[in-house]
Amino acid sequence: MPALVVAVLAKIGAAVAMPLVVTILVLGLLAMTHHTSLPRITLPQLPTSSPALSDHGSGFQNPGPCLGTHPKHFSGIAVKKDPRSQLASYNTLIGVKPQIIEFYNKFRKPFGSWEAKQAVDAGEIPLIQLNPKDVSVKQIADGVWNRHLTNYALAVRKFGCTILLSFGHEMNGWWYPWGQEPAPKPSTSPTDFIRAWRHIHDIFAAQHVTNVIWSWDPSHQYQQVAPGKVATPASEWYPGAKYVDWIGLDGYLGSDTSGRLQNFNEIFSFQLHDIRQFAPHKPIYLAETGVAPGPSATRQIAELFAGASAYHLSGLVWFDAVAKHDYRLGIHQDEDVAYRNALKGFVG
């Protein structure tokens, strides 16, 4: 009898001790690996009438301080010069206020708070494209630029308002030094890019910067189009759900080399399918898009917005500047009308 009592007591003792020992071991492991805070997650919404819409088109975080809520579908413009004057002319021309204003900063520059402030003063969310044009992505990943990044993060935190921050956009293409440029130019590997992205993200986290929405913006290109012109699927460059809040895809409609008009599906469908495989719950939008001027531009503008709706994209940022083509609005009246009508239908 005493032996039985001892056995029962031993079992009860073990039962009490086990969770305590396991808790100590788990806490030790978490402390050693610096996993001591609760993960911040954005909950997806339950589907209503259309599961596809809810799966992919919802889940947007509220833009946060300094800004109100955004509509179901948003629009924006990408600019290369003074945001305020361009925004004013856009508002006059189109009559629909955009929610995002995108501009491009070199990596080595300090945080462009004056540009961001202009955007916020106008009621926009600034989307900053941080381009590592004259620095090595590997060096960023290796910590060479830590001091600069820490200062940048502190400046963003001081700024206070929510910003969208993207690093090394269109990294999966061959045309930027932070992408996979053909030899003999320096090329960035996906591994280094992902390391760099995570490193930047971690520095911001270490400085307790909470007003950044991380926008990861690959290009629509995903394959070799000619010798030396190699792009890869976006999945190879994805830093991981923990490090990315929104996904912005870049791509334009125009004509191919034989003069044939391009449509939305052939430009965007591969990457959209790919992205939704590995990031099914991230909000996706077009972070830089436009239509090349030409006799069919009005039709392609309608096609662009129709495609964005059909694929349940959350928004679209028009490249209101000159690059390979002159994508600016306000040049051709018929294109402005087409844009205005399509935009009104898109944002609802």
Partner 1 sequence: MKERFEESWALWSILAAQATLTLPWMWRTAAYTDEALYLNAGHMGWSHLLSYATSFPGCPVLYPPIATALDSIGGLFAARLLSLTFMLVSTALIYLIGDRLFGRIPAVLGALLFAVCGIAVHLGAAATFDPMALVLLVLALYAAVRMRDGGVRWLLICPIALAAANLTKYATTAWDPVLIGTIVLYGWSKGRAQAICLAASVAATVTVLDFGILLLGGANLALGILVNTIYPSPQSGPPSSSVSVLAHAALMIGLIVLIAIAGVWASIVKKMPVTATVFLWLLVLAALLAPIQQARIHELTFLDENMSFGLPFAALGAGYALGAWRQWLGRQRHWGKIVATVAAVVTVLTMLIVGRVERVQFRGPGSVAAYTVALAIQRNYRRGTLVLVDGNFRTDQYNVPIVPKNSWVPADGNMQTVASICSGSVSILVLRMTGQNLDQIYGTQVAQLIHRMFVRKAVAGTAASSTQVWAINAGAGGCRAG
* Member of 228, 278, 322, 334 binding partner 1 (CB under 8 A): 278
Question: Which segment (35-43, 90-98, 130-138, 333-341) binds partner 1 by CB under 8 A?
Answer: 35-43
Residues 246-265 that bind partner 1 (CB under 8 A): 256, 260, 262-263, 265
CB of 14 to partner 1, least distance (A): 5
Cβ atoms 185, 177 nearer than 8 A: yes
Angstrom distance (rounded) from CA 153 to CA 206: 9
> CA–CA separation, 171 vs 182, rounded Å?
13
Binding of partner 1 at residue 2 (CB under 8 A)?
no
Question: Is residue 62 at the binding interface for partner 1, with CB under 8 A as the rule?
Answer: no
- Binding residue (CB under 8 A) for partner 1 from 83, 112, 218, 233: 233
Cis peptide before 184 (omega within 30 of 0): yes
Asked if residue 230 lies in contact with residue 174, where contact means CB atoms within 8 angstroms, the answer is yes
Member of 3, 36, 183, 184 binding partner 1 (CB under 8 A): 36
Contact region with partner 1 (CB under 8 A), list: 17-25, 293-301, 323-331, 333-341:
17-25
270 near partner 1 (CB under 8 A):
yes
State the minimum distance, in angstroms, from the CB of residue 196 to partner 1.
Answer: 14
Q: Which of 1, 2, 3, 19 binds partner 1 (CB under 8 A)?
A: 19
- Which residues in 322-341 contact partner 1 (CB under 8 A)? none
CB of 171 to partner 1, least distance (A): 15
Measured from the CB of residue 42, what is the shortest distance to partner 1 in angstroms? 8
| Torsion (CA) 43, 49, 52, 57 in degrees, nearest 10 | -50
Q: Are 243 and 198 in contact (CB under 8 A)?
A: yes
Binder of partner 1 out of 1, 38, 183, 226 (CB under 8 A): 38
Q: Considering the complex, what minimum distance in angstroms separates the CB of residue 153 from partner 1?
A: 19
Quote the least distance from Cβ 218 to partner 1, whole Å.
13
x-or-dash string of contact with partner 1, 189-208, rule CB under 8 A: --x--x--------------
Choosing from 72, 97, 109, 273, the residue that interacts with partner 1 (CB under 8 A) is 273
Which residues lie near partner 1 (CB under 8 A)?
Answer: 8, 10-12, 14-16, 18-19, 22-23, 26-27, 29-30, 33, 35-44, 46-47, 51, 55, 191, 194, 222-224, 232-233, 235-236, 238, 240-242, 256, 260, 262-263, 265-266, 269-270, 273, 276-281
